[in-house]
Structure 1
Amino acid sequence: MMDSYLGKPDLIIGKVVDFNAAADQLYPFDFTAANTELSDEILSDTRLFSDWISHKLSSANCRYGIGGYNEHRTIYARSAHFDTHEEPRRLHLGVDIWGPALTPVYNFYEATVHSFKFNDHFGDYGATIILKYEIGDLVFHALYGHLSLASLDGLEEGQLIPSGSQFAAFGIAEENGHWPPHLHFQLILDLQGLAGDYPGVCRFSKRAGYLKNCPDPELILKHTFK
């Protein structure tokens, strides 16, 4: 359903981050078990993990790293936040855009603030904003996680965020759940009564239901990185 609404030729979808396709490049990160470079030592130390990310980007001459939708990730073992009694959460439901702290984040289409929260736990989102979008009869949400704390200043629920406006920025580790700086970008059809938070990682056994409720963010991000 989202494809038909977002694929209309007269619909203008804006950028999420600054990107110049003629000059900038994207580095495709892989955080599955296939990535044997990421040792437990690196993952357990946010500074070492951040240095590893930065080195990968600079060595490849890439402005941003990207990836993660529907990816079964081993990196979540670094935090008890993703553990459950039944089964650990490892299946990623959004796309991560990796880059420097304070990287500007833009609104791709007119929206209102649904909710926001500082999810301050190791491995969590840190500063988080959820925007509500209405395109014709289509209503959906986008969760922006791992933001700077300053991104939450002055926000109010129901506040209009114009299309094309900068409304947030990537946070430092102390503000973003203790991760290397990046943006977690996730589309959500039904927030299921939640506010300021929604699972960005699920149990693999719940994969089908969560992926149905959280469509591929490529539907939006393709307009940023074209």
Structure 2
Amino acid sequence: MKTFEQIIKSKALAIQKVVDFDVTTDRLLPLDFTVTNTELTDEILDNTDLFSTWVNQKLVDNSARYGIGGYDEHRTIYARSTHFDSDEEPRRLHLGVDIWGPARTPIYSFYDATVHSFANNNNFGDYGATIILAYEIEGFKFNALYGHLNLASLNNLEEGKFIPAGTQIAEFGKKEENGYWPPHLHFQIIKNLQGLKGDYPGVCKFSEREKYLANCPDPNLILNCSLG
């Protein structure tokens, strides 16, 4: 049986964009949210407006259309929210890829899909508006979670609804509707949702890293096709 990586690579020409991006003119800026990024002080992380200003300035200074990164990254930024804390070990390992850009940036389905589920995960530091789409490529079934969306993205959705490839499904949400983050998309691939609807952990304990990464393959496999 082919692996997820082999299937996606074999279908590279059929994989469409997730966000608008022109490989001839647009630049992506890798953003580091690990402990090595000493620019991100507690003062910045504790204030979503300051955090947004920091992200935006980075994009301007580097002539980048989007900031991007985060898969398998051990992040310090989640200390800003108790949502990721626990009595034993905090959740800090990021399981998706983030694309940082302006609020209302359009988001598209990269392949034919159906709506699995959706929800407004309205906790500080959570996903906010969230859509999970179900995909099947060459018999391989998996899901993609789109998080930190605007609330209007949840309108007119129903489970099982068919979404053709290339359809705009959402927009980046502003802080009041995206879990109080600078505007961005959290894009995560999930093989087995384990019975969950409208939600799935996007961050795990480092001690559970191997288990979660096995269930959440690298989304860059799709973004390399869709973003160039």
For 1:6-57, what per-residue CA distance to the aligned partner results, in whole angstroms no more than 9, with x for missing partners? 1225750000000001110011000000000000000000000000000000
Which of these residues, 195, 198, 202, is aligned with residue 196 of structure 1?
A: 198
Distance 1:53 1:9, change over 3 A: closer
What 5-or-longer segments of structure 2 have no aligned partner? none
The residue identity in structure 1 corresponding to 2:8 is L
Distance 1:37 1:10, change over 3 A: closer
RMSD in angstroms over aligned alpha carbons? Answer: 0.9
Aligned partner of residue 126 in structure 2, secondary structure: coil
Partner of 1:121: 123
State the shift of 1:136 in Å: 1.9
Partner of 1:28: 30
Matches within 5 A, 1:66-85: 66-85=68-87
Which of these residues, 180, 185, 189, is aligned with residue 187 of structure 2?
A: 185
The residue identity in structure 2 corresponding to 1:30 is D
The question of whether the paired residues in 1 share the 8 Å contact of 2:129 and 2:178 is answered with yes
The residue identity in structure 1 corresponding to 2:77 is I
Matches within 5 A, 1:40-55: 40-55=42-57
The question of whether the paired residues in 1 share the 8 Å contact of 2:12 and 2:225 is answered with no
Matches within 5 A, 1:102-141: 102-141=104-143
The question of whether the paired residues in 1 share the 8 Å contact of 2:83 and 2:126 is answered with yes
The question of whether the paired residues in 1 share the 8 Å contact of 2:119 and 2:129 is answered with yes
Structure 2-normalised TM-score? 0.98
Q: Aligned residue pairs: how many?
A: 226
The residue identity in structure 1 corresponding to 2:105 is T
Structure 1-normalised TM-score? 0.99
List structure 1 runs of 4+ shifted beyond 3 angstroms.
Answer: none
Aligned partner of residue 218 in structure 2, secondary structure: coil
The residue identity in structure 1 corresponding to 2:213 is L
- Output the CA distance in 1 between the equivalents of 2:81 and 2:227: 31
- Output the CA distance in 1 between the equivalents of 2:131 and 2:217: 18
- Output the CA distance in 1 between the equivalents of 2:145 and 2:116: 10
Which of these residues, 166, 169, 182, is aligned with residue 167 of structure 1?
A: 169
| Residue 99 (str. 1) matches residue 101 (str. 2) | yes
- Output the CA distance in 2 between the equivalents of 1:219 and 1:10: 9
Partner of 1:61: 63
Aligned partner of residue 23 in structure 1, secondary structure: coil
- Output the CA distance in 2 between the equivalents of 1:7 and 1:224: 12
- Output the CA distance in 1 between the equivalents of 2:69 and 2:13: 25
Distance 1:169 1:10, change over 3 A: closer
